[in-house]
Amino acid sequence: MPLKERISAFDGLDITDEQREILEAIRAFVDQEIIPVAKELEAKDEFPTQIVEGLREMGAFGMRIPTEYGGLGLDLVTYALAIAELTRGWMAVSGIVNGQYIVGGMIAGHGSDEQKAAYLPRLAAGEIRSCFSMTEPGAGSDVQAIITTARRDGDEYVINGSKMWVTNGDRASVIALLVKTDPDADPRHTGMTALLVDKQPQVADQGTLKVSPPLGKLGYHGVESVELTFEDHRVPVSATLGGPDKAGQGFYQMMSGIETGRINVASRGLGISLRALELSLEYAQQREAFGKPIGYHQLIQKKIADMATRIEASKHLILAAARKKDSGQRADVEAGMAKLYATETCQRCAEEAMRIFGGYGYSTEYEVERLYRDAPLMMIGEGSNEIQETIIAKGLLKRHALV
């Protein structure tokens, strides 16, 4: 039996009629096309081909790509709330969209005119997929510790090294890759360059790019995460994001993607929390114990109240960060706060939902156990929550330094 009043990422928020119309369409797609099949596909770890095709037809892959390149040109607020709604259906779906969002945003913001024309229309149409690759087997939150190199050889770069946990890395046609072009640079970040590595041969002798089989994961099934290994892999110098004269600016270019990426992860955390609350409210009114529905027992009410309150707080932190970023301002502190709080809330809501469901929450027959497996990744992705605390504190100290 459905809830009398729905649980939504955008109800109660101050948004425009146009934003609401877009979000209503996304929500309807989630309810009709994602939720009914997510359980079966996730259990098989199967890529959601039909769902992706539906998203292509809706223009979802071009939500943040400028209209002049065939995208929808949506603001970050609308996109963030759309991602929350997609994640409410199944986190894998928002992960598939996320690659286009980060890489498309980097190309739109930093790419050369030639790169924009070559990639953005195809990304917007969903004709090609993209992935964002920074993490290495020995370097995660400490981005400056990467060791993958790109050595200049005439008009080409020769890439050697490995990248880890690359979501969409197998199906992606273009990889936004962070490499060291000057390993001796001091400070280290000034020797980093972002390359757009196209899997289609760009030079005569391209060398080797190995894609591992999908890595085994606790959750986040349905979308592949792989290791990429580059062995004397060659790309033209023109593959430098923004053009050859932008070598050495890769750290800043990638971090611009990460800042909005943290808002994205916060939204995905919100989506899991919304679904956890939605399922908990339904179950708490159907399951009876000691002569009445468990939702009328005070301990269960405390859990529901806590979940709902934290969800509302998460919404407004995400909204504040997205609006500040939309205004053109730096939003590192706000994005960090939104990511930290919304993803910790996500973990808490998933666990509380499992407790409310009791033994059924541990059963694969119910959706709750999937939420519980998907939630932890949100606290790790786009910089661990421990790193977010450092970013928030350093940012505040810098903003409010003593005169």
User: Quick one: which of 117, 120, 114 has its CA closest to 238?
Assistant: 114
User: Quick one: which of 174, 234, 243 has its CA closest to 203?
Assistant: 234
Are 180 and 234 within one domain? Answer: yes
Residue at 207 is within a domain: yes
Are 216 and 279 within one domain? Answer: no
Contact of 137 with 162, CB cutoff 8 Å: yes
Are 185 and 88 within one domain? Answer: no
Are 40 and 67 within one domain? Answer: yes
Compute the Cα dihedral for 240, 246, 250, 254 and give only its sign.
Answer: negative
Are 141 and 125 within one domain? Answer: no
Residue at 66 is within a domain: yes
Element (H, E) at 89: helix 76-89
Are 262 and 362 within one domain? Answer: yes
User: What's residue 318's pLDDT?
Assistant: 97
Q: How many domains does the chain have?
A: 3
- The active-site residue, picked from 224, 382, 386, 389, is 382
Residue at 1 is within a domain: no
User: What's residue 12's pLDDT?
Assistant: 87
Compute the Cα dihedral for 295, 350, 83, 29 and give only its sign.
Answer: negative
Are 31 and 137 within one domain? Answer: no
| CATH code (residue 28) | 1.10.540.10
Residue at 7 is within a domain: no
Residue at 5 is within a domain: no
Residue 64 corresponds to which tokens in the numbers above? 């943040």
User: What's residue 362's pLDDT?
Assistant: 95
Are 330 and 213 within one domain? Answer: no
| CATH code (residue 389) | 1.20.140.10
Residue at 4 is within a domain: no
User: What's residue 257's pLDDT?
Assistant: 80
**Rounded-to-5 percentages of helix, strand, coil across the chain:** 60, 15, 30
Residue at 12 is within a domain: no
Are 212 and 284 within one domain? Answer: no
Q: Which of 73, 95, 129 is the last residue of a domain?
A: 129
User: What's residue 259's pLDDT?
Assistant: 81
Element (H, E) at 356: helix 332-357
Q: Which of 226, 251, 276 is the last residue of a domain?
A: 251
List, in order, residues 6 or more apart from 402 with CB less than 8 Å away: none
Are 91 and 225 within one domain? Answer: no
Q: How far apart are the first and last CA of the chain?
A: 60
Tens-level pLDDT at each residue, the chain (403 residues): 778 888 889 988 999 999 999 999 999 999 999 999 999 999 999 999 999 999 999 999 999 999 999 999 999 999 999 999 999 999 999 999 988 889 999 999 999 999 999 999 999 999 999 999 999 999 877 888 999 999 999 999 999 999 999 999 999 999 999 999 999 999 999 999 999 999 988 877 889 999 999 999 999 999 999 999 999 999 999 999 999 999 999 999 998 888 888 999 999 999 999 999 999 999 999 999 999 999 999 999 999 999 999 999 999 999 999 999 999 998 999 999 999 999 999 999 999 999 999 999 999 999 999 999 999 999 998 889 999 999 999 999 999 999 8
Are 90 and 149 within one domain? Answer: no
Q: Which of 199, 221, 251 is the last residue of a domain?
A: 251
| CATH code (residue 234) | 2.40.110.10
Verify whether residue 231 is a known catalytic residue.
no
Are 353 and 389 within one domain? Answer: yes
Question: What pTM does this model have?
Answer: 0.94
Domain that holds residue 241: 131-251
Angle between helix 17-29 and 49-58 (nearest 10): 160
Q: Which long-range contacts (CB under 8 A, 24 or more apart) does 115-122 make?
A: 115/196, 115/241, 115/242, 115/243, 116/69, 117/69, 119/174, 119/196, 120/65, 120/66, 120/69, 120/70, 120/71, 121/69, 121/70
Residue at 8 is within a domain: no
How many residues would you count in the chain? 403
Q: What single-letter DSSP state applies at residue 139?
A: B
**Angle CA 375–381–382, to nearest 5:** 145
